[in-house]
Structure 1
Amino acid sequence: MLIHTVNDSADGDPNDKFDDDDYPAYSMGSAAQILGTTPGFLRSLDEANLLVPHRSEGGHRRYSRYQLRLAARARELVDRGTAVETACRIIVLEDQLAEAQALNVELHRRLDAR
């Protein structure tokens, strides 16, 4: 499944976090509110291994903007009648395809530069 690591480092300039798609800035409640869904839906994505949220020192889930985009895509698919597990698999495949396409573009760029 899709594993996207979150940068846990608190070092450096705090202003750098504003543009960091992987910074776990959103609590479960905030994430659910932003997505217009329930905390239970986010937990189901965690159980399906689509999202692996950062855990605060107190054990609370924290989500990044990247993870919110994945959750929004999952919600879109589920709202259309797709089962959660199937939606997660679709998202993983979409992510793999995007990575393969980006790699293909980069390889073609390198070949053209020769």
Structure 2
Amino acid sequence: MPTDQYHEPPSELGEETRTFARMCASLSEEAEAIGWYEQRIAVEKDETAKAIMLDSLGEEYKHFSMELEFLLRAKPQWRQIAQGILFRSGDIVRHGEDAEESAG
């Protein structure tokens, strides 16, 4: 079954690279689902339906976070840069520039 997640011939890519590509695609899909739920929740009038959507949104947050952690473990430079940006107060762009610079 062909997919558009590869930009190089899959047969030329190692298993680790194919797994990484699948996890990147999954992360993107989770982010898209989070956006959809946010929009649906913003306009939903029925409180029961909204509660169900909020519960589903929590699942998407969990999946996104697990996939991100998998990817960060696979790429130490990415993890190093992320650690310089994530969960810090202050200027996000400045943190990003500093983290990228310090990662070499």
Q: Normalising by structure 2, report the TM-score.
A: 0.30
Which protein, 1 or 2, shows the higher relative CO under an 8 Å CA cutoff with sep ≥ 6? 1
Write 1 or 2 for the structure with the bigger share of strand. Answer: 1
Write 1 or 2 for the structure with the bigger share of helix. Answer: 2
